[in-house]
């Protein structure tokens, strides 16, 4: 395959997968890893992708990581419906964790009147939304604040999480597949979410259908680590069938209702 055709192939592949591995591309195209790295480096110089260890992610991944306010407006109706449904599973006196992310943030407006609720979070927007509601016991875990993502991450945050037992966690992911499980654009974000899963009795993954059936850069947890997925009604029925076989409950919303 000539060089320009290889580059077109790489761009199409990374558009579909979000993250591509050098070793996988070399096998698929029957070329050396050095050739793949050279092609990826040239595409990075033109701004088409971002090089990561062992491969590359599409350049818009950086936007997804660092612009909370912009992502808040993406699939806004779907996110709102997902959070409205999720709030139905939160009961009086629960201790819950609300993960960072634009989908999770929207759950706040549906839980403000719940009594005796304990909310633990690493999300600054969640704290801002709930801080004036005295019926909610609010805890922000300690750690390094990443201003662009408006969240708390790092080793201190992971250590802090060990101190809590969580009844129900509400988490997010940038990608989810049967084969690889949950994945994220960012290692720190994935590590925090994995720790939340470990510390929770029950967890709910909140994500719109665009995340399901795709892999992102950093794989952090197997699919069997979650018990519930709340999403919109556009998920491929074949994927839903496979998830149900794994004893994962699928809860879907419908904007028409």
For residue 27, give the CATH number of its domain.
Answer: 1.10.10.10
Q: Is residue 16 located within the same domain as residue 83?
A: no
pLDDT tens sequence across 192-206:
999 999 999 999 999
Q: Is residue 17 located within the same domain as residue 123?
A: no
Q: pLDDT at position 71, please?
A: 58
Q: Is residue 24 located within the same domain as residue 116?
A: no
Among 242, 240, 225, 125, which Cα is nearest to 183's? 225
Q: Is residue 19 located within the same domain as residue 96?
A: no
Q: Is residue 237 located within the same domain as residue 124?
A: yes
Q: Is residue 18 located within the same domain as residue 73?
A: no
Structural domain for 205, as ranges: 68-252
| Calpha distance 93→111 (Å, rounded) | 12
- Segment 66-86 shows an average pLDDT of 75
CA-CA distances (angstroms) from residue 182 to 57, 136, 137, 177, 212? 16, 30, 29, 7, 9
Element (H, E) at 5: helix 3-17
Judge whether 225 lies within some domain: yes
Q: Is residue 148 located within the same domain as residue 31?
A: no
Among 112, 122, 67, which Cα is nearest to 90's? 112
Contact assessment for residue 55 and residue 219, using Cβ atoms and an 8 Å cutoff? no
Is the pLDDT assigned to residue 68 strictly greater than 60?
Answer: no
pLDDT tens sequence across 224-244:
999 999 999 999 999 999 999
Is the pLDDT assigned to residue 64 strictly greater than 60?
Answer: no
Q: pLDDT at position 103, please?
A: 86
What secondary structure does DSSP assign to 45-83, as a single string?
A: HTTSEEEETTEEEETHHHHHHH-HHHHHTTTHHHHHHHH
Residues in the chain: 257
DSSP classification of residue 235:
S
Q: Is residue 103 located within the same domain as residue 132?
A: yes
Q: Is residue 85 located within the same domain as residue 148?
A: yes
Judge whether 63 lies within some domain: no
Judge whether 219 lies within some domain: yes
Contact assessment for residue 202 and residue 167, using Cβ atoms and an 8 Å cutoff? yes
Judge whether 135 lies within some domain: yes
pLDDT tens sequence across 136-163:
999 999 999 887 778 999 999 999 999 9
Q: Is residue 98 located within the same domain as residue 205?
A: yes
Q: Is residue 87 located within the same domain as residue 111?
A: yes
Judge whether 114 lies within some domain: yes
Contact assessment for residue 127 and residue 198, using Cβ atoms and an 8 Å cutoff? no
Q: Is residue 96 located within the same domain as residue 215?
A: yes
Structurally, the chain folds into a number of domains equal to: 2
Query: 255 falls in which pLDDT band (50, 70, 90)?
Result: low
């Amino acid at each position: 395959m000539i060089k320009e055709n290889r580059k077109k192939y790489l761009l199409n592949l990374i558009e579909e997968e979000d993250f591509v591995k050098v070793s996988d591309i070399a096998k698929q195209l029957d070329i050396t890893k050095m050739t793949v790295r050279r092609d990826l480096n040239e595409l990075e110089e033109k701004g088409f992708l971002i090089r990561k260890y062992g491969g590359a992610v599409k350049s818009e991944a950086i936007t997804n990581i660092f612009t909370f306010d912009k992502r808040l407006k993406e699939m806004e109706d779907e996110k709102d419906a997902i959070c409205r449904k999720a709030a139905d599973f939160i009961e009086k006196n629960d201790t819950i964790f609300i993960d960072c992310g634009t989908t999770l943030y929207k759950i706040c407006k549906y839980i403000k009147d719940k009594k005796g609720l304990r909310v633990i979070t690493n999300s600054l927007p969640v704290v801002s939304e709930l801080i004036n509601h005295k019926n909610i016991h609010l805890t922000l875990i300690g750690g390094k604040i990443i201003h662009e993502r408006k969240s708390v991450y790092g080793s201190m945050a992971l250590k802090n999480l060990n101190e809590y037992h969580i009844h129900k966690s509400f988490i997010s992911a940038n990608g989810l597949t049967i084969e690889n499980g949950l994945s994220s654009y960012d290692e720190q974000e994935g590590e925090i979410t994995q720790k939340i899963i470990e510390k929770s009795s029950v967890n709910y993954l909140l994500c719109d259908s665009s995340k399901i059936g795709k892999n992102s850069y950093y794989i952090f947890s197997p699919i069997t680590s979650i018990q519930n997925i709340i999403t919109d009604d556009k998920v491929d029925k074949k994927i839903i069938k496979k998830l149900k076989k794994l004893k994962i409950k699928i809860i879907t919303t419908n904007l028409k209702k």
